[in-house]
Amino acid sequence: MTSAAVPQGRRPKSFDQGRLIVYGVLLLASLFFLIPLWVMLMTAFKSMAEIREGQILYWPQHFTVDAWFKAWSSACTGLTCDGVRVGFWNSVRILIPSVILSIALGGLTGYAMTFYRVPGANFLFAILLIGAFIPYQVFIYPMVRVFSMIGIYDSLTGIVVVHIIFGLSLMTLLFRNYFSALPIELFNAARVDGAGFFTILRHVILPMSAPIIIVATILQVTGIWNDFILGLTFAGRANRPMTVLLNNIVNSTQGEAAYDVDMAATILTALLPLAVYFASGRWFVRGVAAGAVKG
C-alpha cells in the first residue's frame, strides 16, 4: 500500500513546465465537469426576465430563491401543480423498503451460495449475473402483464418488488464476492459447534459484513433514487418517483418553459444522490468498482 502511494512522475522542481501542463489539464477538465452544474445553479437563482437575456454563465444580477419554492411545491405537470415535493416523498416511500429488502435478499442469497452446496446454485448465479447486463426492455412487457394479473401493477408494492427483482443480480454478486474472501475457517468452526444456517449468518457472518452492507446501501440508494424507467412503468400515477415527475415537469411544459423552476427542480432531484456521494467519499468509488471488479 505504502509503496504504491509513492509519487510516480518526475520529482517536481520549484518551477517546472511539466507540472504547469499537468495542472492546466486538470483545471480545464474540472471546468468541463463543473460548468453544467454551475449553469444549473445560476439559472435556478435568476428570474425569468434575466434568463431571457442569455448570459447563462454569469452570477445573477438579482439573486432570487423564488424558483426553488416553486419547483418544490407548485411546479406543474399538465393540470396538477404540486411541484416535485410529491415525487420526493414517493421516491422516499419507494426507496426505503426497496433498499432494505433488496439488500436483505441479496445478502441471504449470497450467503447461501457461498457457504453451502445447494444443487443448482451455480446455475442460479450464472443467470443472475447475465441478467445484470440485459436491458430491462427484454423483461418489462411480460412483467407488466403478470403484475396486473396478480394486482400489483401501478402500485407501491409493485415498484418495490421490481426493484428487489432487478437489484438481486448486483446484490448477490456483491455479497457472494465479499463472503468468498472471508476466512472459511470461521464458518467451519461455527458449524462444528453445531450452529445452524441462521445462527451462523447472524452471529458470525453479519458482524463481519458492515463494509459490504455500506457499499450495497450506497449502490442501492443512488441506483433506486436515480431509476426512471422502472418507476415510469410500474409505479403508477399515484407513486411516480421524483425522476419521472421531474421529467414530466420539464418536458411537458406548455408555452414558455420556466427554466429557473426547471433547473431548481433538477437540482433538487439530484440532491440526495449527490449528498450520498459527497458524504461517502471513497466508499462510493469502492461501490461502483465493486459492481464491476471481481472480489
Q: Which residues contact 170 (CB under 8 A, 6 or more apart)?
A: 106, 132, 219, 223, 291
Among 115, 165, 129, smallest CA distance to 291 is for 129
- Between 271 and 290, how does the x/- string for binding to another protein read (CB under 8 A)? --xx-xxx--x--xx--xx-
- Between 36 and 65, how does the x/- string for binding to another protein read (CB under 8 A)? xx-xx--x-------xx-xxxx--------
Total residues contacting another protein by CB under 8 A comes to 106
CA distance 108 to 123: 17
DSSP letter for each residue of 146-190: HHHHTT-TTSHHHHHHHHHHHHHHHHHHHHHHHHHTS-HHHHHHH
Per rule CB under 8 A, is residue 149 in the interface with another protein?
A: no
Binding positions for another protein, 129-148, rule CB under 8 A: 129-146
Per rule CB under 8 A, is residue 10 in the interface with another protein?
A: yes
CB of 214 to another protein, least distance (A): 16
- The interface region with another protein, picked from 69-77, 115-123, 150-158, 202-210 by CB under 8 A, is 115-123
Grid cell of 51 as nine digits? 434568463
**Amino acid in the structure at residue 30:** S
Binding positions for another protein, 228-247, rule CB under 8 A: 228-229, 233, 243, 246-247
Binding positions for another protein, 172-231, rule CB under 8 A: 172-173, 191, 196-198, 222, 225-229
The C-alpha torsion from 238 through 243 and 244 to 247, rounded to 10°, is 140
Grid cell of 291 as nine digits? 459492481
- The interface region with another protein, picked from 27-35, 64-72, 74-82, 202-210 by CB under 8 A, is 27-35
CB of 66 to another protein, least distance (A): 18
Per rule CB under 8 A, is residue 115 in the interface with another protein?
A: yes
CA distance 12 to 7: 10
Grid cell of 195 as nine digits? 450452529
Per rule CB under 8 A, is residue 255 in the interface with another protein?
A: no
